[in-house]
Structure 1
C-alpha cells in the first residue's frame, strides 16, 4: 500500500512538472539550421520533426481575398496586399515551394501529430479596416478544416485580437505589442500575451502578474542562451525562437 502511494505521488509530481515546463515554439518554422525558407511547409515539417510544442507562422490577405502564409508584406519583391493570389504564384521560394495559402498550410500542419499551429495575423499595409476584414476569413478557414483545437492566434493589432475574441470565444488569442497591462488583457478576455523578451527583462514581475490572473505568457524572439535561460528561470509558459534546437536542450 505504501509503495503504491509513493508511486502515485511520484507520478503526480512528474505530471505537474511536465505541465509547468516552459514550451518551445519555432519562429516561422524550424528554418535556420537547414537553411529552409521561413514560413514554408518544409520549415513547418522540420519543426514537427524536432518535437517542439508549436510552430509560428504569419498570415496576409491578398488583393483578391486569399489568405496566404509569409512573414514580410512582400513575397520576393511583390506586394502581397496589392497582388492577386495568381500573381504571387508566379514566384517561388528557393526550394521551389509556392507561397502557401492558409488552407494549404493548415492542411499540412494538421498532418503533423501533436504540433500546435501559432497563427499570427499580420497588420495589412492597406490599413486597419483591411486587417479587420481578414479576421472572419481566418476563422472560416479554421472552422472548415476543424482545426480549432490545434490553433492559437497572435497579432500586433489589438483591435484584431478583440475581433477574434468577439467572433470566437474558445480559440486562444494572445496580444503581441507589449503596451497592455495584465488587467487590460484579462478584461479583454484574451488568453494571454506574447511580448518581446526584453519587456519581461525590464519588468521582471510581469510574468508572475500575468500568471496570477490566469493568463498565458510567451516571449518573442529569444535566440541567445542568456535570454532563453532568463525566461526559463522566470517559468514563462512559452518561448518563441529562431533557435528551437538550442531552446529544446535548455528546457530539458
Structure 2
C-alpha cells in the first residue's frame, strides 16, 4: 500500500503563525511531503496567501483583503497575534511562496478562496503563476466553489483540481466525474463512513482530507490508505508514517 502524504495545513500552523513564510519553512524542516495554503487577491490584483477573507484574526489589520492594495497589506503584521516572538512576519505573495517551493519536490495544494468573495480572474492568475514556476504537474487547486474548479479545467485541462466539502455528498465518486475534477478533499469525518469510502476507492479517486490533528484519527486514515492527510502538525504525522 502506498504511504499517505503528509501535507502541512497552512504550513506548520500548529506551532507557527499560519500561512507565513516561517510556517512554510518549518513545515519543510519537519519533513512534510506537501503544503496546503490559501490564495486571495488584493485590491490591485496581487495574489497573496491568507486563509480568512478578513484580516482581524491573523494580522494587525482589519477589513477585507480585497479592499487593500498589496503595499497597504505590507503595513500589517501577520505573526504577532500568534505570539509576540513572531512579530515581523508578513502576508506572503503567491509568488514568494512558489519561489520558495519550486525546487523542494513538494505536493502543492492551493485553495482558491473564492466562495465569500468572487475574485475576478483568480483562476487565470494562479494557473499562470504555476506555469511560470514550472509547478503545474506537482500542484493541485482546490476550492469549496466547484464552479471555480470547472473554470480551472476550462483554462487548462492539465491542472489537477480537488473538490473541498464538509458534508455527506451522496456518491461523491459520481459527483467528481460529473464536475470533471481529479480529487476529493473532504473533511475527515466524512471519510470514516465505510460505505462512502468504499464508493470512492472503487473508482481509484485521490483523497486529500482535512484537518487531521489527533493521532488516533491520523492512524486510522493511514490504515485506510488515504492519499493525503492535511494537518497542522506535520511532525506528529511524520512520526506515525515512519
Structure 1 length normalisation: TM-score?
0.84
Do residues 141 (structure 1) and 129 (structure 2) align?
yes
Structure 1 segment 22-61 matched on structure 2, within 5 A: 22-33=4-15, 36-61=16-41
Q: Give the C-alpha shift of residue 124 in structure 1.
A: 5.0
Question: Cα gap change, 1:185/1:132 in structure 2, threshold over 3 Å: closer, same or farther?
Answer: farther
Aligned residue pairs: how many? 227
Q: Are the counterparts in 1 of residues 10 and 18 from structure 2 also a CA contact under 8 Å?
A: yes
Q: Give the C-alpha shift of residue 251 in structure 1.
A: 2.1
The separation in 1 between residues aligned to 2:187 and 2:154, in whole angstroms, is 25
Q: Are the counterparts in 1 of residues 183 and 207 from structure 2 also a CA contact under 8 Å?
A: yes
Q: Are the counterparts in 2 of residues 120 and 155 from structure 1 also a CA contact under 8 Å?
A: yes
The separation in 2 between residues aligned to 1:149 and 1:40, in whole angstroms, is 24
Structure 1 segment 193-232 matched on structure 2, within 5 A: 193-201=184-192, 203-232=193-222
The separation in 2 between residues aligned to 1:213 and 1:189, in whole angstroms, is 14
Out of 163, 170, 174, the residue aligned to residue 183 of structure 1 is 174
Q: Are the counterparts in 1 of residues 102 and 134 from structure 2 also a CA contact under 8 Å?
A: no
The separation in 1 between residues aligned to 2:219 and 2:130, in whole angstroms, is 34
Query: Max radius of gyration: which structure?
Result: 1
Aligned to 1:156: 144
Give the alignment's Cα RMSD to 1 decimal.
Answer: 1.7
The separation in 2 between residues aligned to 1:246 and 1:73, in whole angstroms, is 29
The separation in 2 between residues aligned to 1:242 and 1:88, in whole angstroms, is 25
Out of 100, 103, 114, the residue aligned to residue 92 of structure 2 is 100
Structure 2 length normalisation: TM-score?
0.87
Aligned to 2:225: 235
Q: Give the C-alpha shift of residue 213 in structure 1.
A: 1.5
Aligned to 1:125: 116
Q: Which runs of 4+ in 1 moved over 6 A?
A: none
Q: Are the counterparts in 2 of residues 207 and 217 from structure 1 also a CA contact under 8 Å?
A: no
- Higher percent of residues as helix: 1
Aligned to 1:245: 235
